[in-house]
Amino acid sequence: MPLTVAVYNVTLEPLPSYAVVGGEVRFEGRLTVDGKPAPNETVKIKFCPYEAPELCADLLTLKTGSMGEFYTIWKPTHDMACKTYYFYAEHEASGVRSGFQAMSIAYPVRISISAPSRVIAGQGFDVSGKLEFEASPGVWIGLRNRRVKVYCDGSKIAETTTLSDGSYSTRVSISKPGTYTLRAVFEGEFPYTYAYTGKRLYAALLGHSPVLGVAGASLIAVALYAARRKRRA
């Protein structure tokens, strides 16, 4: 009796080089047998700290669709952060595996910014805030000794280092009057992700009202002076 040998092949679409705790990772691939779709088969997504299948553990169990496809969304958890893992797909019945793919898991990061809403053009003012990472669900800890850059409408105007509690502070100035957007940026450094935030402010000329302008402010001053003189009379 002739022996029939089925040839299975499982592929896993490329994964991102890193993912963020709580963010979405898309696992997608296809299973074929003798070059044709293999529907209703069990495929497992596995992961391990090294490229060694004997060290791997099951992460997800999926069923192939009518065209042999499998797909799911997965969210990394905090206990996986600060590490790099190797992932692959395995057909349960045959043991056929896809190639390994490395993906690092990073902590979520946030940054705040505080600055006046109105400043005087050419005069210095303070910009401050805090850089933090989420160490566990709802628990944010300051990131110390990290570089924070401050931008004004896309141009860098300052760079400083966070203190032990993650706070930062720097003094800046804006030379011309107008409305601007300040941004505080942390460019990311594994296992911490990129973070930024922004704030709008108005830079006015000395003695200039942002709302009324110099002429408007002068008219108000004349009106108040006239009212005082009238009361005295």
For 46-85, letters b (16+ CB in 10 Å) and e give bbbeeeeeeebeebbebebeeebbbeeeeebebeebbeeb
d(CA 9, CA 183): 49
Domain ranges for the chain, please list them: 8-106, 109-205
| 8-106 against 109-205: fold identical | yes
Q: Is the pLDDT of residue 220 over 50?
A: no
Span 59-90, pLDDT tens digits = 999 999 999 999 999 999 999 999 999 999 99
- pLDDT (0 to 100) of residue 92: 97
- pLDDT (0 to 100) of residue 53: 75
- The closest of 91, 103, 94, 102 to 23, measured between CA atoms, is 103
Mean pLDDT computed over every residue of the chain: 88
Span 31-57, pLDDT tens digits = 999 999 999 999 999 999 887 778 899
The share of the chain scoring above pLDDT 90, in percent, equals 78
Q: Does domain 8-106 have CATH number 2.60.40.10?
A: yes
- pLDDT (0 to 100) of residue 208: 52
User: 136 or 54: whose pLDDT is higher?
Assistant: 136
- pLDDT (0 to 100) of residue 36: 96
Q: Does domain 109-205 have CATH number 3.40.50.720?
A: no
Model pTM score: 0.75
- pLDDT (0 to 100) of residue 207: 60
Span 146-184, pLDDT tens digits = 999 999 999 999 999 999 999 999 999 999 999 999 999
- pLDDT (0 to 100) of residue 206: 73
Q: Is the pLDDT of residue 4 over 80?
A: no
